[in-house]
Structure 1
Amino acid sequence: MLKSMWGWARQGSGVIYPWDIIFVLRVILYLEGNGLSHEKQTVALSSVLAAIFLTGMKIVIGIYTGSLGILSEAAHSALDLGAAVITFFAVKISDKPADINHNYGHGKVESFSALIETLLLLVTCIWIIREAIQKLFFGGTLEISGSGWGIAVMLVSIIVDISRSRALKRAAQKYGSQALEADALHFGTDVWSSSVVIVGLIFVSLGDYLKLPFLHYADPITALGVCGIVIYVSLALGKRTIDVLLDAAPAGMPENIARIAQSVEGIKEVESVRIRPSGPTFFIDLQVGISKNESHRVVHALVENIQQQVQKEYPNSDVTVSTYPISPLEKEDREVYHTVKTIVDRFPKCTNIHNIHVFEISGKKRLAIHLEVKENLSLQESHNLSHEIGNLVQLSFADVEEVSVNFEYVKQQNIVAEDITADSQTLISEIDTLINRVPEKLNCHDVRVYRQGEKLTLFLHCELSGNYGTETIEKISNGISQRIRKLVSNVDDVFIHVEPMS
């Protein structure tokens, strides 16, 4: 077993370095489990240990040589260490599955950790700039000793940085991890910044050899070069991180998803595409229009087709498709609804548009709008609100002659109910008998009975055989609901979910 653990522990970096005590920690992770999340955590942990080694080495040699370039790199590595620690815990937390309080999972923890890394990098820049300006313009010491040691340290640093950057980049691409990508970017830029420091130390050595003290200025100048690289990386990383935290969709992705959905035969239009990045996962919501004459089975198949096509293009995606019926009538009717909805949404008292009827008489239109409100309005209040909404609607349409607005008070409440399904088997049997008499072939495989006070609420989950349109399904559901109410006098509501028979 120990032999297999040794082989597994070597997989991340390819070799075991003398300083690579990560082997011991990998064995611990192996004993905890051998899942994909542990592989991510192992790669992140290797970055922590590499950063500890590099930071300690640079501090010792930087103090010994007095090189600001090396000390600035030590500060850079110290903050890289902090960033690597944050990345390790971020990866560990982000792998937790979604729960009742975090419906979209914990993926944004990675983006938050990347933002902290950005801030740490900017703190590094402030310190480097201050020290470099002090040496260049305010008489700070420029004496550096042991440049050879400094060059050797930076060469070792470059070798380690290249090794870790490649390992992190592979893991980031494999798992779509923004935190690991940020860590890979850190180690990758360290390669360039270390190279800049080596150039500065070479100039310092030449200055000592050629007796040209002004070449010692190369050290603080190269330190400023390091700072420039760090600032550039910080701004790029910060922008991407903030975009993810603000749910910004990747450039071109909404248009591409809309194109994919529109290409599915039977989709009349794509109303909206919303994308919410969370770690490696994209949560995608689409609203698509389908002919109102399509059967329930066809609509179900179209939704599945869209989900499959989008997930083929974006494998790490969770796709939700909402459909709305499109009448074969003019597009103008939909524009009326959207305009009225925009106006109604301005009034907090209104909660929903129940329906809109458009009557066309002699080239002029009359609108009858039925709205739901969350307050029990007085006669004067409803009169004022009706006129205000009506006037705004008339101003929006040149051919609307009159607008009539009616209100319905809908109580907004959570109903406390008791599940009495287990004690209602007689009632459920009677409902099954009733449904079996319906001409259309139905199979209600799940019936739930809830009681609130003296009233009952029924939930029916039914399968329907045949290709019926939305209007027909609504008539069937209403017919069943009416028959149940005749059968049981104290039924308050009946909710029927219909799906194709498998």
Structure 2
Amino acid sequence: MQSEKESVALSSILASAGMAIAKGIIGVSSGSLAILSEAGHSLIDCGAAIMTYVAVRVSGKPADEEHHYGHGKVESVSALGETALLFLLSGIVIWEAVMRLINHEPHSVVANYWGFGVIIASIIIDYYRARALTRTAKATQSQALEADALHFSSDMWSSGAVLIGLVGVWFGFGWADSAAALVVAVLVCVAGWRLGHRTIMTLTDTAPEGAAETITHIVRAVPGVVAVEQVRARDAGDRTFVDVTVAVNRALPLERVAEIKAAVTAAVAANMPRTEASVTTDPVAIDDETIVDRIMVIARNRGLAVHHVTVHSLQDKTAISLDLEVDGKLTLAEAHDIADALEEAIAGELGDKVEVETHIEPLQPGDLSGREALPERVVAVEAALKELAAADKALRNIHDVRVRETDDGEIVNFHCHADPGMTVLAVHEKVDGLERALKEHSSLIKRVIGHAEPMR
């Protein structure tokens, strides 16, 4: 794609240089201001084409430490320079044409076959160059090539005006050449205005027309996006850079939020090629957020671990109880301060008619060094588990018993089977009861973790 841009820009240099030379020779020999203005127009086109070629090569460079968004704006700077050249040429041509009309000098113009030939050839070349440049500019979203295409397109129409002027001179209307030159100047001014307006809009980061609405529609369809809060877009060369802020459920884990951001980026890229999206998430409370969700968010934002959150809706208030895990090495006073702060935050979130009770318990140690217990110890623990479970008969087939010895005591893990029709609450109570019974059975055991499976 980059090589195609450079190739079409290089061919524009050769075409505009050839036409400038031919028009200049014919313009001087015939004395036609219109042809001379066209020669100047083509000469400026040649300079503009050189600027375009350089801009296209520079804009193709990747982003670096100094240009985080790439070098695409170089094309806009080039287009702005071409605009200035167009207005400069127009001013010179208008001045000379008006002077000739005022001083009645059009009789010095000679219309000959060479003049007709070079103008007709120019129209044909301009037509095909404008088509090639426009096609490549659309395919690559290159502002510099679009500006070059506009140059050749304006050349085609202005050459048509010159041709009409030469016809007038041919039939004896000497003033037709200066009038044609004025038409050329006006057309060049119009082309310069259109190009300059678009270029300035890009350099001032004006949002591409319709981009915000299109991006909003795309992002809203991404699962997990609650709302699209802000969309900002700007062009830089053949790239469009987009900043999107989306609202997401504040109760979601960070991994899910990261997945939503990635999905938004992928959706924008899939629907709008050459677009680079930067996504920011704003956590918000959704309408169906439960009280438990809100409590978990408060605790998570404070870096606290809570579980067994229970909510009771009473006649005139809401009663909340929860287990709060803190570092077991903290003093009771320090742990109580943490619990008080959490309770105040919950009351502030849910209102005055809330009663919060916190049960403080120590965090389980996360990284204990230990060793596997001797086989006979594992057999003894498994026998104790089976004996205790047999008394209730709700939990059966005790298996995969593992015993690890640590400096704080033994940690026991086991699996068991239960009736698949039992509720999770009922199974949890049975497993919890068996865990407590085993700890009471042996003072060596520090912790017991049971895993219940449905009986097949």
Q: Structure 2 length normalisation: TM-score?
A: 0.62
Residue pair 1:94, 1:109 contacting (<8 A) in 2 also: yes
Q: 2:252 aligns with which of 294, 298, 312?
A: 294
Following superposition, the deviation at residue 137 of structure 1 comes to 1.4
Q: 2:186 aligns with which of 228, 234, 240?
A: 228
Residue pair 2:106, 2:174 contacting (<8 A) in 1 also: no
Unaligned runs of 5+ in 1: 1-35, 208-214, 331-353, 355-433, 439-502
Equivalent residue for 2:284? 326
Q: 1:193 aligns with which of 158, 175, 179?
A: 158
Q: 2:82 aligns with which of 107, 117, 120?
A: 117
Residue pair 1:64, 1:146 contacting (<8 A) in 2 also: no
Q: Supply the distance in 2 between the matched residues of 1:327 and 1:115 (Cα, whole angstroms).
A: 48
Equivalent residue for 2:296? none
Q: 1:223-274: per-residue Cα shift (whole Å, max 9, x none)?
A: 1111111111111110110111111111221122122212323222222111
Following superposition, the deviation at residue 437 of structure 1 comes to 6.2
Name the amino acid aligned to 2:188.
V
3-state SS of paired residue (1:137): helix
Following superposition, the deviation at residue 276 of structure 1 comes to 2.3
Residue pair 1:147, 1:204 contacting (<8 A) in 2 also: no
Q: 2:274 aligns with which of 313, 316, 324?
A: 316
Q: Supply the distance in 1 between the matched residues of 2:21 and 2:30 (Cα, whole angstroms).
A: 14
Residue pair 1:58, 1:74 contacting (<8 A) in 2 also: yes
Q: 1:68 aligns with which of 33, 38, 51?
A: 33
Equivalent residue for 1:238? 196
Q: Supply the distance in 2 between the matched residues of 1:94 and 1:75 (Cα, whole angstroms).
A: 28
Residue pair 2:243, 2:277 contacting (<8 A) in 1 also: yes
Q: Residues 265-304 of structure 1 correspond to what in structure 2 (within 5 A)? A: 265-304=223-262
Following superposition, the deviation at residue 311 of structure 1 comes to 1.6
Q: 1:180 aligns with which of 131, 134, 145?
A: 145
Equivalent residue for 2:4? 39
Name the amino acid aligned to 1:227.
A
Name the amino acid aligned to 1:108.
K
Q: 1:285-327: per-residue Cα shift (whole Å, max 9, x none)?
A: 1111101112333322222222222122210011111101102
Name the amino acid aligned to 2:76.
S
Name the amino acid aligned to 1:133.
V
Q: Supply the distance in 2 between the matched residues of 1:189 and 1:97 (Cα, whole angstroms).
A: 33
3-state SS of paired residue (1:273): strand
Q: 2:52 aligns with which of 87, 98, 112?
A: 87
Equivalent residue for 2:362? none
3-state SS of paired residue (2:69): coil
Residue pair 2:162, 2:184 contacting (<8 A) in 1 also: yes
Residue pair 2:110, 2:169 contacting (<8 A) in 1 also: no
3-state SS of paired residue (1:294): coil
Equivalent residue for 2:126? 161
Q: Supply the distance in 1 between the matched residues of 2:209 and 2:141 (Cα, whole angstroms).
A: 17
Q: Residues 91-490 of structure 1 correspond to what in structure 2 (within 5 A)? A: 91-207=56-172, 215-328=173-286
Residue pair 1:271, 1:288 contacting (<8 A) in 2 also: yes
Q: Supply the distance in 1 between the matched residues of 2:141 and 2:65 (Cα, whole angstroms).
A: 24
Name the amino acid aligned to 1:246.
T
Q: 1:328-385: per-residue Cα shift (whole Å, max 9, x none)?
A: 379xxxxxxxxxxxxxxxxxxxxxxx9xxxxxxxxxxxxxxxxxxxxxxxxxxxxxxx
Following superposition, the deviation at residue 199 of structure 1 comes to 0.7
Q: Supply the distance in 2 between the matched residues of 1:179 and 1:197 (Cα, whole angstroms).
A: 27
Name the amino acid aligned to 2:157.
W
Q: Supply the distance in 1 between the matched residues of 2:177 and 2:106 (Cα, whole angstroms).
A: 11
Change (3 A) 1:129 1:38: same
3-state SS of paired residue (1:267): coil
Name the amino acid aligned to 2:206.
A
Which has the larger Rg? 2
Following superposition, the deviation at residue 216 of structure 1 comes to 1.1
Q: Supply the distance in 1 between the matched residues of 2:223 and 2:44 (Cα, whole angstroms).
A: 54
Q: Supply the distance in 2 between the matched residues of 1:174 and 1:310 (Cα, whole angstroms).
A: 19
Residue pair 1:94, 1:105 contacting (<8 A) in 2 also: yes
Q: 1:169-214: per-residue Cα shift (whole Å, max 9, x none)?
A: 222122111101110111111111111100110111011xxxxxxx
Name the amino acid aligned to 1:256.
T
Residue pair 1:107, 1:279 contacting (<8 A) in 2 also: yes
Q: 1:427-458: per-residue Cα shift (whole Å, max 9, x none)?
A: xxxxxxx86669xxxxxxxxxxxxxxxxxxxx
Change (3 A) 1:220 1:101: same
Change (3 A) 1:151 1:291: same
3-state SS of paired residue (2:199): helix
Bigger mean CA offset, 305-314 vs 148-157: 305-314
RMSD: 2.1
Equivalent residue for 2:392? none
Name the amino acid aligned to 1:38.
S
Following superposition, the deviation at residue 163 of structure 1 comes to 2.1
Q: 1:447-480: per-residue Cα shift (whole Å, max 9, x none)?
A: xxxxxxxxxxxxxxxxxxxxxxxxxxxxxxxxxx
State the aligned residue count.
295
Q: Supply the distance in 2 between the matched residues of 1:94 and 1:436 (Cα, whole angstroms).
A: 54
3-state SS of paired residue (2:259): helix
Name the amino acid aligned to 1:72.
S
Name the amino acid aligned to 2:47.
G
Residue pair 1:311, 1:317 contacting (<8 A) in 2 also: yes
Residue pair 2:231, 2:243 contacting (<8 A) in 1 also: yes
Q: 1:403-425: per-residue Cα shift (whole Å, max 9, x none)?
A: xxxxxxxxxxxxxxxxxxxxxxx
